[in-house]
Amino acid sequence: MKKMLGTQNQNDLLRLAAQTNMPLAQLQQQAAVQGAMQQQAGVIEVPQVNFYPSRHSNPVKARRQDIKQAYRLLKPTKRPLLSPRRWWFGGKYRYNTNTMRCCIDGCDAENLIRLAGNIYDQISDDEDGKSLWDLYFHNPVTNEPQAFIAKENVTSGRNMRGTYCPEHLHLFHMLTKWEREEEVEQESKGGTLKAKLKKGVSVVAIPISTIRKKDNTPPQLAPYQPFFNMLERDNIPIMHLTNAATGGNDMTIIVFDMRQFQGGQNNRLLYEALAMNQMQQQMQNGIEPAPLPQQSNEGSM
């Protein structure tokens, strides 16, 4: 009989790591997730993911079997074929209701966080130390909080309306790492220059110094960097007037527009209106329009 990882001790995990060729750190993560979920079983009903690492002696085949099993376990739950609701519009999936419900087991993630604490934030990656909450519940560009939305085919297909519970999300995280390992190995075997040329891809070596963004901020302005970081966080427009001859930054303008704060308008629209007004004034005065100022919110001076 197969035992859940959350019920096994350190020696059992060491033995399983040797038998499955699965890193011990990954097994410990999975066991920690299941243990955290089981601790809350007395408070609320929590799901349990029956994932069992492959014991194949070949590590490549073992990883592929783990990937196949993960895809099977992460597919959204469908309604039975004979269920009338399955044939309604949007009724194919049983738990595809909202962004705080697991689309596989129907776990209410919002209720779980409220009663048991943020388990997503307690599960960390063994490489970079970031939690599942940091990795999947924040916009990678703006770093603003956003819900994690599952996909119909796990890593592809249409976006669902549901999410993953902590255990399923951790399995999804492991799946993405296994697939990256597969891609690296395939690239090392079939990613030769000859194979790329057949696909019409060529490689050009570019010195890093030519693509690295130059920072011409004077040392005297370095103490003001936290202020610019606050502007970036609050989406306050920052415009850079560049020198037409040198391409460097001559002037930095911070725009505080009351319409943005009172009416909640988008700062991009405010910037475009300001830039167009500047161009119209230059044309009325018979001056050749200068290049429009460049807007950024990178927090640079």
pLDDT of residue 163: 92
pLDDT digits (tens, 9 = 90+) for 76-128: 999 988 888 888 877 889 988 888 899 998 888 888 888 777 888 888 887 88
Q: From CA 183, how far away is CA 176, in angstroms rounded?
A: 11
Q: From CA 87, how far away is CA 97, in angstroms rounded?
A: 16
Q: How far is CA 224 from CA 54, 104, 249, in A?
A: 54, 49, 17
pLDDT digits (tens, 9 = 90+) for 134-193: 999 988 888 888 889 999 999 999 999 999 988 899 899 999 999 999 988 887 776 666
SS3 (DSSP) at 101: strand
pLDDT of residue 292: 46
Q: From CA 39, how far away is CA 31, in angstroms rounded?
A: 12
Angle at 222 between CA 217 and CA 225, to 5 degrees: 100
Q: From CA 30, how far away is CA 64, in angstroms rounded?
A: 18
pLDDT digits (tens, 9 = 90+) for 5-44: 555 666 666 666 666 656 666 666 666 666 665 555 555 5
